């Protein structure tokens, strides 16, 4: 067996998507690159721990879990989390945004201003616009205002986002139309916190950043890795945590969150051999392994 690697996730940089590996190694991902790895024979997926600490039990986790944490480590990881509303005293400025993932799929959210659009790339937002900037609690109140007054959700199931990519409108104007209209309705609401500085509507489009322009739509998604299984394909697009790989099964979406917790090794000559399911229809001293 070759040297085993542990993936710590996909990150978006100014140059595009990058896979991170334990120990600090990075694999830059470019369109047309071959992505190939195998799961060690007899391997078991184990909890990745929380907040930089290993799981004390080395607990096994399900192959289909995108969190790769046992119940206790998942609880600890969410402690002191902005997303979980357990960190109310963060002094940094926050931005409120509207994100669009496909027809009928718009959400409101917040992100630390210093992160720029990274949060939107990580979520797979096809386009977005800022709503305003201010202290954390003002941003939270604005988010709640939109949920209550305009019924805009703050979460969209990821399976729906993935399926929506198969039929996105062709032009930037069409893709931005829903958030442009919603931005106008949002700024017309009364009750905005005084400490939140409103932002003009300036839609940013990620179709080209994600490589989705002209790319074939995914026909399936990896359901989970298995011991002894292998993934091999040409990278044609990436969005959020997903890699879109051209395989002998067609284009398959691989959620890179499914990689964490496994020992991964070079694929050698192994062909694509992990469980794949059809995409659900949309409701409205090598450096790494490759």
Q: How far apart are CA 109 and CA 100, in angstroms?
A: 11
Are 128 and 204 in contact by the 8 Å Cβ rule? The answer is yes
Q: How far apart are CA 199 and CA 246, in angstroms?
A: 40
Q: Summarize the confidence of residues 118-123 as an average pLDDT.
A: 95
By percentage, how much of the chain surpasses pLDDT 70?
92
Note if the pTM is more than 0.95.
no
**CB contact burial 227-243 (16+ within 10 A = b; e otherwise):** eebbbbbebbbbbbbbb
Q: How far apart are CA 255 and CA 69, in angstroms?
A: 16
Contacting residues for 14 by C-beta, under 8 A, at least 6 apart:
none
Are 215 and 243 in contact by the 8 Å Cβ rule? The answer is no
pLDDT value at position 2? 59
The predicted-structure confidence for 68-87, as pLDDT tens digits, reads as follows 999 999 999 887 555 545 56
The predicted-structure confidence for 240-285, as pLDDT tens digits, reads as follows 999 999 998 899 999 999 999 999 999 888 889 999 999 876 544 4
């Amino acid at each position: 067996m070759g040297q085993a690697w542990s993936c710590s996730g996909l990150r978006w940089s100014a140059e595009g998507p990058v896979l991170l590996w334990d120990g600090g190694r990075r694999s830059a991902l470019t369109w047309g690159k071959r992505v190939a790895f195998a799961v060690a024979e007899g391997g078991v997926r184990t909890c990745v721990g929380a907040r930089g600490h290993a799981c004390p039990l080395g607990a096994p986790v399900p192959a289909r879990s995108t969190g790769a944490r046992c119940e206790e480590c998942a609880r600890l990881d969410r402690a002191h989390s902005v997303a979980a509303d357990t960190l109310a005293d963060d002094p940094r400025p926050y931005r409120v945004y509207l994100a669009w993932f496909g027809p009928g799929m718009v959400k409101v959210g917040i992100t630390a201003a210093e992160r720029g659009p990274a949060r939107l790339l990580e979520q797979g937002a096809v386009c977005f616009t800022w709503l305003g900037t201010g202290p954390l609690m003002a941003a939270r109140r604005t988010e709640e205002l939109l949920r209550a007054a305009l019924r805009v959700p703050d979460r969209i199931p990821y399976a729906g986002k993935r399926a929506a990519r198969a039929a996105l409108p062709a032009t930037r104007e069409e893709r931005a139309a829903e958030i442009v209209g919603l931005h106008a309705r949002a700024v017309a609401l009364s009750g905005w916190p005084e400490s939140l500085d409103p932002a003009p509507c300036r839609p940013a489009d990620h179709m080209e950043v994600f490589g989705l322009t002209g790319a074939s739509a995914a026909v399936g998604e990896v359901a989970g890795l298995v011991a002894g299984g292998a993934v091999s394909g040409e990278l044609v697009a990436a969005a959020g945590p997903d890699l879109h790989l051209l395989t002998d099964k067609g284009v398959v979406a691989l959620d890179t969150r499914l990689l964490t917790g496994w020992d991964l090794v070079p694929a050698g000559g192994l062909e694509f051999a992990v469980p794949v399911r059809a995409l659900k229809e949309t409701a409205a001293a090598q450096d790494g392994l490759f």
